[in-house]
Structure 1
Amino acid sequence: MNYCSGCHAPALLLSNESEHEVATAGDDLVAKSNIGCNACHAVKRINNTIGNGDYVLQRPRSYEHMSSDVEWYRRLFAFKLHVDPDPHKEFFLKPFMTRQNSEFCSSCHKLNSAIRQTQHLSIGGMNNYDSWQKSAFAGERIDAFKHVREHDCADCHMPRMRMDDPAAKRGTVHDHSFKYNILSQAGDDADDPIVQKYKINPIQLDVVAFQNLSKDGAPAPVNYFDEVKVNITPGSAVRMEVLVQSTEVGHDFPGRYSESMETWLEISVRDQQDRMVFQSGAIDDFNRIDEKAHRWGTVYRDRKGNIVTWPHGFSASDISYNHRIQPLTSEMVPYEFKIPENCGSELYISAQIKQRRRQTNEAELLTLKGTIATAVNGMHSGQYVDTHKIIAETEVKVSLPEQRRLNRQDDIPNSGDRYDIWFNYGIALYLKGEWDEAERAFLQAAKLRSTDVHLWLNLARTALDKNDFESMEIYLEKSQSIDPDLNKITYYRALMAEKQGDLDSAVTLLRDIRKDFYADRVFLLKLAEIQMKRNYYKRAGKWYKKILEFAPDDLDAHRGLREVYKNTGNDEGYQNEDKLVRALEKALLHE
């Protein structure tokens, strides 16, 4: 009972009721109190960032007074709080709650289900912390594709709102409802500049390319919008590419309980007579999603092969699907279809990312038949949605005579939007390993805006993967002309030196900038990796241990430390690390 109540019902811990059997505690009023103020504000410290509710909860000194059945006791407490609020503030608002907000949240928003819970499989469950910590939202990250303003959990999930409260700062407090709609907010605060600062548009969609397929099935060169004519005609078979961009989600998308949610992409292409030309991801009359739809999330299965929808994957014995979009990256989704001869002069393309609670058995599906879906923009909403909500959407019109793309307002996207599209498209192609096409997309973005230093760094890393050191040097020189003091330029020069076999120069370059990346796993792993190649095992071990100070369950660091102990003859250390690596591989990689 303690395992679950630590995050789901902390009142049981504070009231010493957590020793009861689950069957009886479920009927207890304390067990049903869910998350109250003390659930977070009575935490004394966070032991680590492994999660699983690993925190120390301290009973407030005034607990008996403020929860007393005697009314004058409660009145006395309220009077004392009004006269001298400092002790109350010092106890309930500790420095780590604001200065290390995301680490604070990780104690309950990160989970590894051990074998003793699932009985069959050690599962790395809900984990929004690690993907945030590795991203540029947590601070400057050496391998980030772009620069963004730092965000912690509270910035997006607890935005500031207007409130007449004694604790308000400049008239605002953090919203504690956790039902903030990130695309729109109703009420008097809708136009408030402080609230507006926290509004984000997390996922964006666009149709970026068409490829004309020849009659013999051989693909023709890809034709990108805004670069060359798309070369699509009535009667031709085409390949369409839809770009999904995670622009401001601070963790993997989808996050939270992705095993109990279904997230998918719905595409429809209609001709000028409003006839359906192509469709993917549609919901049928029984609320079943198209089996061929492109999906994100996790699918757990039990021993009988049934889908497990219980949060955190308890009772799971296998993971049949696991796919997410990392922060500040993009993904390209291809579709193939044939354009009818009599389609007219225009095609209308609609793309939507939808999400709903997972439905598995026939009874649930039949129950939902005929239910009117209330589409709600945004990932979080204050109201309950019976079937699905829309995370992101776009509508594009393609003019066949003009061979160009138009938005709903019949205009071409402005240069800023086009730059972002090309930039993010280059990221998607790079992550697929299509480096020539990625370079082409980044160069197209450079025609629209050549002053973004991260664009040229992305071109440099693309050239590095192609072993094109001459082009890489040109791109790095361009980056340096824009921002001479940017440490990332030194990092990529170190990578080039490493690939050319000059390990000593690579280490020297990395040492010069290491003070700025002490919390960057990628940087520290690269520094340790090069030291391993130089056979400086103890120095490599130093950097692996540095990673484990702030990420004690980092699999790559434990693997590296295991190799250090193996090469230095430390049998005891090797055995301990080998056990940890095997356990983490089961939990994180499901091996």
Structure 2
Amino acid sequence: HKVSLTLPVNNYRWLRGQDEYDNWHDSGVALNASRTFYLPPNKRVCQDCHMPLEPATLGDVAAKDGHVKSHRFLAVNTALPFLRNDQETIKRIEAFLQDEKLSVDIFALKTEKMKEPVMAINHAKLLLTAGEKITVDVVVRNKGVGHTFPGGTNDSNEGWLEFSLVDEEGHTLAMSGKINDDGHLDAMAHVFKVLILDKHGKPIHKRNAQDIHVTVFANVIGPGTADIAHYEFTVPKELSGQTLTLRARLLWRKFDRKYTEFAFNANREGFKQFDEVPELPITEIASAEVSLQVDTRNPKLANGTTKNPSEWVRYNDYGIGLLLEGDTRGAAGAFERVLKLRPDLIEGPLNLAKTAVRDGHIDKVYNYLKHCEKLKPGDPRVAWVWGVALQEDGQYEKAALAYRRVLEQFPDDRATWRNLGRTYYLNQQYDEALDALAELLKIDAEDRVGHYHRMLCLRALGREKEAEAAKAAYEFYQIDESAQEITRVFKLKNPGANLMAQKIRRHQLTISY
């Protein structure tokens, strides 16, 4: 599950292909990433999720205590069992996907007049003003997938959010993420997949990996992280005095319509039971719903309150999503709420420290980290942020000590080895830097940043021949930034792709009433 495309395959250059291994290995799920937002108590591997124990009903001689490791390898492929009319397997896959793998939360709302959003809106008593423009934030979190969601062949996979506005009589007033009459998904939907182009600027829709040239966008959710979709609409005046219901559903279809059409037309024998292109099953993975009152008076909006300590996770997920978007101000507001709800946990001050690092507020970072140390002295996740902050502050020896503390518990943390090598280089400790970078390249021999810093260290030591070899490795794995020009032209012609290529995705809904 880790592949690359090289010159003999694509007549172009080295490109990274499918990579579930690194997405798993470099995460909290594998207990290898100190920078993870959520650290599970135990390490999980592929077999834990995809080969769980199940009863050995046929008396398998390999059974232990009446159970064997499942060889169904349940994951996300509902297409193949659909083609052979295997409804039992489809039900098993759907149950697998719906078993705490992902969550959907209609979490925050903001009007044009508000400076800050209302969070936890299901706990808030909201009275919306008819005729006012509203922004609703929907959070999708990867709770239980040990790699990115989605994973695998993401150029043909299709996950998306369906967001709809419904009046009190059940009429759908607006929807984003609708399947059109021709079977294709709404082009402006918030999708979870990858869009790749060939060298001519044409989308890769046939699993023709040899033609892959450049990525337009890759919207996937890493383990323990979150993604946010922002929906904007104007509340109709006709809804005054009524209830407006917001609904969000995370949906999944194993293959997008274009690939299904290609497969059907290219291999009619494989689809002989169908007279036309089949409609592949669509699975609802998770959903959420919130109802709000509409009036013509000024709105009454207040942040939701809850006495349930577990609610801190919702604020944390929202903050994570905002931080990954680059909205550090919004993220800080959410993490402050985490700190208030659970002052006994390090997550609040730790994530505030991560946010302050992004903004370059080193003094704030130090204060938050000192708070963390009082709660949980010597925690390696805190040590990671100490290392980053001290490195940014030019305190290289202290930064190296912090990174070494991380490696005591996370010896295969590639980001820490990478930063440690960089820190030693900046402190002119070139031999120590080379040792750290060697550990990084043991974990991932294709780490281009590792090769780059190795080149710098070798040059500083006057080892020019080795430096040239490191330079060649760096250039081999380097990204071809000039290829982005192809995506620029494509995005101008395809507004949906352009939207998903942005850091912050705002979807406009027009209500028909």
Asked if TM exceeds 0.5, the reply is yes
The alpha-carbon distance between structure 1 residues 520 and 303, as it changes in their structure 2 partners (threshold 3 A), is: closer
The alpha-carbon distance between structure 1 residues 115 and 232, as it changes in their structure 2 partners (threshold 3 A), is: farther
Out of 243, 249, 261, the position equivalent to 2:139 is 243
Structure 1 residue 413: Cα displacement:
8.2
Aligned residue for 2:222, secondary structure, equals coil
Aligned to 1:570: 463
Aligned residue for 1:244, secondary structure, equals strand
Residues 254-299 of structure 1 show CA distances to partners (whole Å, capped at 9, x for unaligned) of 1011112222221111122333333111111111211111122222
The alpha-carbon distance between structure 1 residues 582 and 391, as it changes in their structure 2 partners (threshold 3 A), is: farther
Give the Cα–Cα distance (whole angstroms) in 2 for the partners of residues 197 and 299 of structure 1.
26
Aligned to 2:54: 161
Out of 43, 65, 71, the position equivalent to 1:176 is 71
CA contact (8 A) 2:4 2:18 kept: yes
Give the Cα–Cα distance (whole angstroms) in 1 for the partners of residues 390 and 443 of structure 2.
29
CA contact (8 A) 2:24 2:147 kept: yes
Is the aligned partner of 1:207 residue 2:99? no
Structure 1 residue 116: Cα displacement:
1.4
Aligned to 2:164: 268
Aligned to 1:493: 386
Aligned to 1:89: none
The aligned amino acid for 2:111 is N
Is the aligned partner of 1:359 residue 2:257? yes
Quick check: which has more Rg, 1 or 2? Answer: 1
The alpha-carbon distance between structure 1 residues 482 and 256, as it changes in their structure 2 partners (threshold 3 A), is: same
Give the Cα–Cα distance (whole angstroms) in 2 for the partners of residues 547 and 312 of structure 1.
32
Give the Cα–Cα distance (whole angstroms) in 2 for the partners of residues 204 and 578 of structure 1.
43
Give the Cα–Cα distance (whole angstroms) in 2 for the partners of residues 362 and 129 of structure 1.
27
CA contact (8 A) 1:270 1:276 kept: yes
Aligned to 1:253: 149
Aligned to 1:444: 337
Aligned to 1:375: none
Out of 417, 420, 436, the position equivalent to 1:527 is 420
Give the Cα–Cα distance (whole angstroms) in 2 for the partners of residues 548 and 265 of structure 1.
38
The alpha-carbon distance between structure 1 residues 299 and 494, as it changes in their structure 2 partners (threshold 3 A), is: closer
Structure 1 residue 200: Cα displacement:
4.1
What TM-score, normalized by structure 1, do the two folds share? 0.68
Residues 558-588 of structure 1 show CA distances to partners (whole Å, capped at 9, x for unaligned) of 2221222222222222222222222212489
Out of 318, 322, 336, the position equivalent to 2:218 is 322
Residues 468-518 of structure 1 show CA distances to partners (whole Å, capped at 9, x for unaligned) of 445434433332233224233333333333333322222233334533232
Aligned to 1:115: 7
Structure 1 residue 303: Cα displacement:
4.7
Bigger RCO of structures 1 and 2 (CA < 8 A, at least 6 apart): 2
Aligned to 1:508: 401
Structure 1 residue 199: Cα displacement:
8.6
Aligned to 2:27: 135
The aligned amino acid for 1:452 is L
Out of 391, 394, 414, the position equivalent to 2:288 is 394
Aligned to 1:464: 357
CA contact (8 A) 1:307 1:360 kept: no
The alpha-carbon distance between structure 1 residues 112 and 432, as it changes in their structure 2 partners (threshold 3 A), is: same
Give the Cα–Cα distance (whole angstroms) in 2 for the partners of residues 253 and 362 of structure 1.
21
Residues 143-175 of structure 1 show CA distances to partners (whole Å, capped at 9, x for unaligned) of 111211321111111111121433223332211
Aligned to 2:448: 555
CA contact (8 A) 2:32 2:411 kept: no
The alpha-carbon distance between structure 1 residues 292 and 239, as it changes in their structure 2 partners (threshold 3 A), is: same
Is the aligned partner of 1:455 residue 2:369? no
The aligned amino acid for 1:453 is I
Give the Cα–Cα distance (whole angstroms) in 2 for the partners of residues 480 and 158 of structure 1.
39
CA contact (8 A) 1:398 1:404 kept: no
Structure 1 residue 133: Cα displacement:
0.9
Give the Cα–Cα distance (whole angstroms) in 2 for the partners of residues 427 and 434 of structure 1.
10
CA contact (8 A) 1:562 1:574 kept: yes
CA contact (8 A) 2:318 2:331 kept: yes
Aligned to 1:420: 313
Which runs of 5 or more structure 1 residues have no equivalent in the other structure? 1-108, 191-195, 368-383, 406-410
The alpha-carbon distance between structure 1 residues 588 and 179, as it changes in their structure 2 partners (threshold 3 A), is: farther
Aligned to 2:269: none
The aligned amino acid for 1:345 is Q
Structure 1 residue 390: Cα displacement:
2.5
Give the Cα–Cα distance (whole angstroms) in 2 for the partners of residues 581 and 562 of structure 1.
8
Give the Cα–Cα distance (whole angstroms) in 2 for the partners of residues 259 and 307 of structure 1.
9
Out of 236, 246, 250, the position equivalent to 1:349 is 246
Aligned residue for 1:258, secondary structure, equals coil
Residues 530-580 of structure 1 show CA distances to partners (whole Å, capped at 9, x for unaligned) of 111111122111111111112111222122212222222222222222222
The aligned amino acid for 2:157 is M
Is the aligned partner of 1:287 residue 2:179? no
Structure 1 residue 121: Cα displacement:
5.3
CA contact (8 A) 1:135 1:141 kept: yes
Out of 166, 187, 196, the position equivalent to 1:300 is 196
The aligned amino acid for 1:535 is Q
Aligned to 2:499: none
Question: Percent identity among equivalent residues?
Answer: 23
CA contact (8 A) 2:142 2:221 kept: yes
Structure 1 residue 221: Cα displacement:
3.4
Is the aligned partner of 1:224 residue 2:116? no
1:58-73 superposed matches below 5 A? none
CA contact (8 A) 1:125 1:312 kept: no
CA contact (8 A) 1:124 1:588 kept: no
CA contact (8 A) 2:251 2:282 kept: yes
Give the Cα–Cα distance (whole angstroms) in 1 for the partners of residues 471 and 373 of structure 2.
43
